[in-house]
Structures are given as C-alpha cells and as structure tokens.
Structure 1
C-alpha cells in the first residue's frame, strides 16, 4: 500500500514539474483601428495582455497601440509583423532591456523607463535600432530598413558600425550592407497618427489612406530606397502618393568611425 502511495506521489510530482510555465505579461493592447492578430490565430482587443514571445501582425489597414509595463509603447502600422523577444524591467532602478524583432511594415516606438536607464532595441532583417528616450519610427519595406528619429536619441547599428542620431527628422537606412544617413522628415508617416482619433475605443475605424512614403522619397535618402524606385509608383499592398511639397533639407555625411554622431552629439 505504501508503495502505491509512493507511486501516486511520484506521478503527481512529475506532472507538476512537467506543467508549462505561465507566459510573462509584458504589456497590453490599448487601442486598435483595424485587425491586429496575435500568433497568427487570435484577434487582439482593447485590454488584451501582450506576453513575452508574442508575434503581432497587422493587415493592410491595420493600426494598433500597445503599452509595456515600463510605460514604453508602440504604434503598429499597416502590414507589420513584430515579435516581443525580450522584456526585463526593474521598477526600483528603472532599468532593464527590451528587444523587439520587426520583420516588415511600419511602427512608432515611444521610449519609457527602460529606454532611459537601460537598453531598448528594435532588430530588423537589415539593421538594429536603439532608442534612448524619445520617439523613433521604423519602416521595413522592399528589402530595406529606415529608422527616423522624432525625439530623443537613436542609435543605428549595422555590420559592426554604430551611428548616433540626435536631430529630430534625421534618419538612417540600410543599403546593400552599408549604413546611410540623411533627412527623413518630421512627420513622414501621418497614417500612424490616425489612431489617436479613436484611441481606447477598440472600434474599427475607416480604413487608413495607405502607407504614404512621399516624404521619405523626397528626402535625402530617397535615391537610396528601393521603395522609391517602383516603375508604376506603387508596391504590392502599399499605397504610395507623391503630393507636391518642398524638398526637405539635406543632412551632412559622417565618417567611418564607430560611435559616430549625426549630425552632432550633445
């Protein structure tokens, strides 16, 4: 009888150790305008938890916003796929690490506590972007990545080279393994602002106007971007418009040393 009890206890213990661990909640979805899908199966709603390892995808008119536990946040634009690879946050020291993998689309990242005292990075197939406070926008399209600084400080890393950008509106991009810089525009992607009108409602809104890359194509980086060289003025699934506008100022060049600052560091 005692042997039977031992066997039952052993089986219970084994089941306990075999039980899967509960995924860590790192934030929540606070707004969406059109479809945001988690892990290719679940439509996200306002208040839905975002967990470590989650992959979030948006459709052609997808817009959504998620907020992390350290008060960092991300606005997800159309045709976007991103994965939360790492999230570590110590509220006491306000330090930690956030690693987000972004394979396609457009997103705007707002730095929170981690970006001020720790490490917040967005890795794409072409380069790695770091945020130090402030706001950065990331576009992954046509085999290239563009990072634009809107506020704070942005670090661009590619093939062992690191470039620090401090002036809002300036950008970096990847081009055949090279790191290029130039002016990208203060409000290059207004589609990301449209969700502000319905933030927190969770109600589907009117489809967005499509991804307008005219500001980028008219910028100093335009000649280096494949997305600006389409023969018919549009890419599959991407609406490209070219309204009349003045040419933005051209940024200066940088040398090949590590830890370059563009245009300057303060």
Structure 2
C-alpha cells in the first residue's frame, strides 16, 4: 500500500513539474495594448489570440487585423507598435541588461509600424522589409510597407540608415526626413517627413471594445 501510494505521488509530481511539450521559450517582451484583434504564431506552435500582458517570443510571427493595432514592449524597454493589417516576424532578440549589449532583428512584412528604441546598444538593432534594411541610431521612426514591397520610412528623432536590398548605397535619414525605397532598389529624394494616419501607432490608442476580453484583443476569428 505504501509503495503504491508513493508511486502515485511521484507520478503526480512528474505531471506537475515536467514542462509541457511545445511550451513557449523564454519571452523577449510582452503585449501592452491590443485594439480589435491581434494574433501570434510562435515557432512550432499554433496561432493564438494575443492579449495584454501576454508574452511574445523570438521567431514569433505577430499580426493585426484590419483596423486593429498591437503594441509590444521588449525587455530593453524598446517599443514596437503595429497598425492596421500589419505583420512582423520577431526574428531575434538577445539582451544583456548589465552591459546594454544585444541583438534585435525584426522583419516588417507589410503594414504600418513605429519603433522607439530602448536601452539596447543601437548597433545591434536591425529591421528588414521586402525592399530594405534599416539600422537605427537612437531612434523613433515609423515605416509603411506596401503590398508591392515598397517601404516608406520617416524619422521623428535620431537617425536611421536605410540600405536597399536590391543594391545601392546606404542612405542616412535624419529626424524630420522621410525616404521611399522600391522593391527594385530605387530610392526617392529625402522628403520633409510625415505623420502616419494610422491611429494604432499612437501612444494612447487603446482597446475599443469591439472584440476580445479583459485587457483587449483576441477572439472572433481571423481577419486582416
């Protein structure tokens, strides 16, 4: 009887402490706001609804629906905001808070985005779109990525270095300027900057009550 009880107890303990198959890796940040609906697809996992303050992970694909928005805060206190019908892949995030060193790589596939840098050394941060790479230099910038892969970038503070993927010299875009890069590598003249019209990129954009549950987001089926 005693041995039977102990065996059952050990089996129960194993069920409690053994990690669930396919469990998420160490989080790299968290959701701070969802408007309408947003979804995340971690590596080797099913797509899930995203809610505040759910964690996100490296290699996770996150996206919003039409008229939706999603705000993420990473471990170095940098911020990424997605506007309507937008998709990104959080390719890589490694950060050492004791030295502020690390690497961040994010793929902006389509939609509207705003990034505000945090404590990570800016030399380790790189964004990629279908038409360009974007290196940051202490930066608050927005990017609009069209269905045809064209990328338009505007800088609110700091500086970004934009390099066309199809070839061509890097272009420095400073605060108050904007630049357009096409899929074939053509770059327009530096403009005088622009304000994005997508309300989901604003700091105070919040859950509008049209779907999901407490904290905003999720539910209602996929769309975009």
TM superposition score normalised by structure 2:
0.74
Q: Is the contact between residue 108 and residue 192 of structure 1 (CA under 8 Å) also seen in structure 2?
A: no
Q: Choose 1 or 2 for highest CA Rg.
A: 1
Equivalent residue, structure 2, for 1:212: none
Pick aligned residue for 2:35 from 33, 36, 39: 33
Q: Give the conservation status (yes or no) of the 8 Å contact 1:109–1:135.
A: yes
1:72-112 deviations in whole A, cap 9, x for unaligned? Answer: 11011111110110111111111111100111111101111
| Aligned counterparts of 2:190 and 2:200: Cα–Cα separation in 1 | 21
- Provide structure 1 residue ranges, at least 5 long, that are not aligned to the other structure: 1-15, 205-236, 238-266
The reply on whether 1:77 has 2:51 as its aligned counterpart is no
- Runs of 4+ in structure 1 deviating by more than 4 angstroms, as ranges, are 19-22
Query: Is the contact made by 2:125 and 2:135 (CA closer than 8 Å) also made in structure 1?
Result: yes
Q: Are residues 112 and 173 of structure 1, via their aligned partners in 2, closer, same or farther at CA, if it must alter by over 3 Å?
A: same
Unmatched segments (≥5 aa) in structure 2: 1-17, 208-213, 218-223
Q: Kindly indicate which of the two structures has a greater share of residues assigned to helix.
A: 1
* SS in structure 2 of the partner of residue 157 of structure 1: strand
CA deviations 1:162-199 (Å, max 9, x no partner) are: 11112323334225322223215342335234561437
Report the Cα distance in structure 1 between the residues aligned to 2:96 and 2:119, rounded to whole angstroms: 9
Mapping of 1:186-265 within 5 angstroms? 186-194=194-202, 196-198=204-206, 202-203=215-216
Partner of 1:142: 147
1:123 lines up with 2:136 in the alignment: no
Correspondent of 2:188 among 180, 194, 205: 180
Q: How many residues align?
A: 186
TM value normalised by structure 1: 0.63
Distance 1:120 1:48 in 2: 23
C-alpha distance in 1, partners of 2:90/2:183?
A: 26
1:46 matched residue in structure 2: 52
Counterpart of 2:111 (choices 100, 105, 110) is: 105
Equivalent position SS for 1:180: coil
Question: Would the alpha carbon gap of residues 190 and 38 (structure 1) be closer, same or farther in structure 2, given more than 3 Å must change?
Answer: closer
In 2, Cα distance between the equivalents of 1:193 and 1:141?
16
Q: Report the Cα distance in structure 1 between the residues aligned to 2:84 and 2:96, rounded to whole angstroms.
A: 32
| Aligned-residue CA RMSD (Å) | 2.4
